[in-house]
Amino acid sequence: MKNTALTEKHIALGAKMVPFAGYNMPVQYEGVKAEHDCVRNAVGVFDVSHMGEFKLKGAKALDLIQSVTSNDASKMVNGQAQYSCLPNNEGGIVDDLLVYKVNDQEYYLVVNASNIEKDWNWISKHNTFGVEMTNQSEATSLLAVQGPKAAAALQSLTDVNLADMKYYTFTVGTFAGVPNVVISATGYTGAGGFELYFDNEHANHIWDAIFKAGAAYGIKPIGLAARDTLRLEMGFCLYGNDINDTTSPIEAGLGWITKFTKEFTNSANLKAQKEAGVKRKLVAFELVDKGIPRHDYEIVDAGGKKIGIVTSGTMSPSMNIAIGLGYVPTEFSAPGSEIFIAVRDKALKAKVVTLPFYKK
């Protein structure tokens, strides 16, 4: 099992460590609810250095990205980030990812930890454009500093005006005295904040600087458990749960990042699917009855017949209601539709709702 550059910090802080995507990762420190609330109301720091980072360089870097991703990267300006996915040829998704445009000849791709090797092989296989690809995953640390007080907590560490950065933009600057830190106004929590990419050798220094600067703002370390409840309250998809090799981006509600303004892997089939309509859809639901939906629980109709599957579920710490995502036949996908979740020996009533679950 691999460690991040900060594993010893997490252990010293008393984190509960779990194996995740081949890494020894902190799942919680103080407790998932306290950590969740800290990010929603103040600011928290996640070590997500297990994520993968690829650098793509060359005159045809955009051509490669356009051919393998579903979103339209030609629309990006320098310093912009874009959420996208890598469709496969069978109608599913290889991975979801962030594309960062440094300039016309240089891009970064940020991918899920569990898919680093799969994505690398997939993109390499499609690299008929002579693009120079570098896998920087092992050498790169990534801290997500998230929450409404993130900009204030970090501002003393950089000359970059953090409060003025627009969502899904980034800049490369000096942070805590370390040059060439990628400062990105992105995140997976819906709470606002930044993601910071830098070389492993600076990890301990930057971690300490962030906690010192953020102390007055109540900054805390946050584990993967709260990362999951935070992203689920927003309805953000988690690869391996809500999307995978067999789910289409159209079914998953990712039509907004699937742009038929260009050709890409399986684009003709996905376009036909979008035009014809999909048979099943990923929906958000809230439980009406008491209970908690979990990944892989069955979704049933009023008669008890299986109609789908829960892909993510939890008790929402912000709202204290049970929420989930799952695939259902399209006729059950309209907001207000009544569905049932099979929890142990019972079918609990739930209703389809619109995202996000958590509205500020």
Partner 1 sequence: MNIPANLKYTKDHEWLRVEGDIAYVGITDFAQRELGDIVFVEIETVGDSLDKETVFGTVEAVKTVSDLFMPVSGEVMEVNSAIGSNPELVNTDPYGKGWMIKVKLTNTADLAGLLSSDDYQKLVH
34 closest CA partner among 358, 319, 317 = 317
* Residue of the chain from 112, 135, 266, 314 that contacts partner 1 (CB under 8 A): 314
Stretch that binds partner 1, among 51-59, 100-108, 121-129, 221-229 (CB under 8 A): 221-229
Number of residues located near partner 1, criterion CB under 8 A: 17
Q: If binding is defined by CB under 8 A, does position 229 make contact with partner 1? A: yes
240 part of the interface to partner 1, by CB under 8 A: no
**296 scored as a contact of partner 1 (CB under 8 A):** no
Q: Determine if 317 is a binding residue for partner 1 (CB under 8 A).
A: yes
Q: Does 32 bind partner 1 (CB under 8 A)?
A: yes
Contact stretch for partner 1 (CB under 8 A) within 5-13, 160-168, 225-233, 304-312: 225-233
Separation of alpha carbons 4 and 113, rounded Å: 12
Q: Which is nearer to partner 1, 125 or 344 (CB)?
A: 344
**Binders of partner 1 in range 319-348 (CB under 8 A):** 320, 344
Beta carbon of residue 96, minimum distance to partner 1 (angstroms, whole number) = 22
Structure tokens at 141: 């640390």
**Is there binding between residue 147 and partner 1 (CB under 8 A)?**
no
Burial (0-12, 13-18, 19+ Cβ within 10 Å), 65: buried
Q: Which is nearer to partner 1, 31 or 218 (CB)?
A: 31
Token output for 83: 């959420």
Q: Are 15 and 223 in contact (CB under 8 A)?
A: yes
Least Cα distance to 286 among 339, 220, 214 occurs for 339
- Is residue 196 within a helix (H) or strand (E), and if so which, with residue range? strand 193-199
Reduced to 3 states (helix: H, G, I; strand: E, B; else coil), residue 279 is coil
| 189 near partner 1 (CB under 8 A) | no
Interface with partner 1, residue 33, by CB under 8 A: yes
Length of the chain in terms of residues written: 360
H helix runs in the chain, sequence order: 7-12, 32-41, 61-68, 116-125, 150-154, 203-214, 224-234, 267-276
Q: Where are the beta strands (DSSP E) in 104-188?
A: 106-111, 132-135, 140-146, 170-175, 178-184
- Residue from 5, 7, 26, 28 in contact with partner 1 (CB under 8 A): 28
Among 75, 290, 306, 359, binds partner 1 (CB under 8 A): 290
- List of residues contacting partner 1 (CB under 8 A): 27-28, 31-33, 225, 228-229, 290-292, 294, 314-315, 317, 320, 344
